Structure 1
């Protein structure tokens, strides 16, 4: 067999990640967490990295010995470094800002190389100048298998996900529209008989205002404090036409929600999981107020001990100006 055949075999899908029941104070409503931290790299980015590599191999852009390059500061680098190592490929990631050991160490332990660039938005041009194949997770579409896997497990009324590249919400929205249920088969689905997709968006991100105003190139120019999601501009992979709702979430609410996830599940998840959970609880609250039952799925991931010193820590949240306590009280009311 050739290298590409072996590579595609290594890039096949793994075991499905679990659905975890989460308590809500809304009779007849179920909230399920799709736990993407069960992946080998502990993150939803695992699926996207696998899809990017698979597409690049199929298109002949990555072959044996190709140096793979990316521009990112988050969990995508860890997931991509994991696949690069598995495929025996050199991996270079260009990260924004000054070198930080917490960001660099997980990538370097997998054999990747980290290069840091200032100002942050210069990472894309810097990555394009590196000799090799630029994966370009924001500009290159690569649908992954989350939607097929999830809808084989459950057909919820709503599925909620944070938006980074936009690829996940687009994949879910496209698949939800293709899987229209026969009329009357599930009275909880929308009038078209399909699951609806909601995007949870943190402060400073462009997705909520851009979606609301229907401005495809909307930009805030401001960085998100929530690792992994929120963008200063509407990315090409985000498809507003495949999203039913975008829910803005205060950063303090995201930080409070990550702590509630850990209390219930034991998982030290990151901020993006908290953002998605808070948005899911907004939908649960709406269903409760309307007297409707049904199921909401919130996609979570990125459970790592490093978050215990950030989102889960009072000293960190106070330093960031996040008033977590008020949101914790609201969370307790909604999830007890």
Structure 2
């Protein structure tokens, strides 16, 4: 086949690949914004942006779509490319979904501790699993697999902050403000999210500044994560060996290239037990299970609510319901698993239940 013909065929495939992803987006509705009134804190309202309603069940669906489009439009992915990702699970689930849509092989490099239901979902969408014992090696292993297969390491940790259009184009920040438009406090006092790659916080923080909004961004970070340490002291870039958070999807042992601390107004470090207790309390309030990173976000929201109330302030707070709890039945919702790790989550559950409950 001539070089010109090969290039034309590749461009034809690329156009069809982009069309399929855009068509999938057009078939999808926006995610819900759930309002939670706080009777004990009059004038302060909490909203949950429910990202669990995406086709692959988590916030990472947005990121995976953006990463695939970014890689396609850079012509890093072609019709025969094996796509590789380093992931704690949810991003890989979503990327496996898009890889199968395009007829591509997909390999997820994941820590061996990743919850089994996530691994099952990756395989359900046609992905393959490559587990590693040391989470810090996922990056190099992904690079090695890409080289061995002649594939492409899609690298969420590097490209998350640039693959999403932070100016608008229906990103998560624009969606939040559109849905808040008719509320009593349409411009939230705070938006609270976690950081795994840093892409979501970069998108929201940049959007707030570009649109000249007064809302502030708080990033909730697991206690055993480097991000909040780096925020306080830019010289800190790596956690000591053996120090790792138990909350999947957020928190990292190293500062990722996509984490942009300059657009973050505040960070709150959250112990694992408090994340799980908050997760449990919110699940009881909603009547359905949510994941651990949602608990991390909610714990940080509770701190902000209490501070606003003490200062006599009113307003709204928006946070993310990142994924459902079905993926964590054998971990965060398993009493034996929690006891084996010495996590006493009950005091946090009681505190958050009080925040969410009747006056």
TM-score, length basis structure 1: 0.91
| Contact 2:89–2:118 (CA under 8 A) maintained in structure 1 | yes
Q: In structure 2, do the counterparts of structure 1 residues 17 and 128 end up closer, same or farther at CA, with 3 Å as the change threshold? A: same
Q: 2:110 aligns with which of 95, 105, 117?
A: 95
Q: Is the 8 A contact 2:282 2:353 kept in 1?
A: no
Task: Please tell me whether residue 2 in structure 1 is matched to residue 17 in structure 2.
Answer: no
**How many residues are treated as equivalent by the alignment?**
324
In the alignment, the residues of structure 1 paired with residue 120 and residue 328 of structure 2 have an alpha-carbon distance, to the nearest angstrom, of 15
Partner of 2:156: 137
SS in 2 for 1:235: coil
Match of 1:117 in 2: 132
1:95-149 deviation digits (Å, cap 9, x = unpaired): 2237974342211111111112233322211211222010011122322621222
1:152 aligns with 2:178: yes
- 1:221-245 Cα distance to aligned partner (Å, 9 max, x none): 4221001101111111111100000
Change (3 A) 1:53 1:299: same
User: 1:212 maps to what in 2?
Assistant: 232
| Cα distance between partner residues in 2 of 1:18 and 1:243 | 25
What SS does the aligned partner of 1:323 have?
Answer: coil
Which deviates more, 265-274 or 41-50? 265-274
Q: CA deviation at 1:41?
A: 0.6
Match for residue 51 of structure 1 among 39, 48, 66: 66
The answer to whether 1:42 aligns with 2:57 is yes
Output the CA distance in 2 between the equivalents of 1:152 and 1:10: 26
Q: Report SS of the residue matched to 2:35.
A: strand
User: Partner residue of 2:184?
Assistant: none
Whether contact under 8 Å (2:189, 2:214) holds in the other structure is yes
Q: 2 CA distance for matches of 1:83 and 1:273?
A: 24
Bigger mean CA offset, 73-82 vs 119-128: 119-128
Q: Which runs of no fewer than 5 residues in structure 2 stay unpaired?
A: 1-10, 166-170, 181-186
Distance 1:35 1:321 in 2: 30
- Tell me the distance in 1 between the aligned counterparts of 2:296 and 2:218: 12
Per-residue CA distance 1:237-271 (angstroms, 9 max, x = gap)? 11110000001111111101111221122331111
CA spacing shift, 1:42–1:103, aligned 2, 3 Å: closer
Q: Residue 228 of structure 1 aligns with which residue?
A: 249
CA distances 1:192-219 after superposition (whole Å, capped 9, x unpaired): x421111001121011111012336353
2:37–2:44 contact (8 Å) kept in structure 1: no
| Distance verdict in 2 for CA 1:322–1:23, change over 3 Å | farther
Q: Matched residues in 1 for 2:240 and 2:91: separation?
A: 22
The equivalent of 1:290 in structure 2 is 311
Aligned equivalent of 1:164: 196
CA RMSD of aligned residues (A): 1.8
Q: CA 1:299 to 1:100, structure 2 compared with 1: closer, same or farther past 3 Å?
A: closer
Deviating beyond 6 angstroms after TM superposition, the runs of 4 or more aligned structure 1 residues are none
Deviations 1:27-51 (A, max 9, x none): 1011000000010011001111111
The answer to whether the 8 A contact 1:206-1:220 is kept is no
Question: Which segments of 5 or more consecutive residues in structure 1 lack a partner in the other structure?
Answer: 181-192
Bigger proportion of residues as helix: 2
Q: What is the distance in 1 between the residues matched to 2:250 and 2:316?
A: 24
- 1:203 paired residue number: 223
Query: Which residue is equivalent to 1:80?
Result: 95
Q: Distance in 1 between matches of 2:115 and 2:57?
A: 20
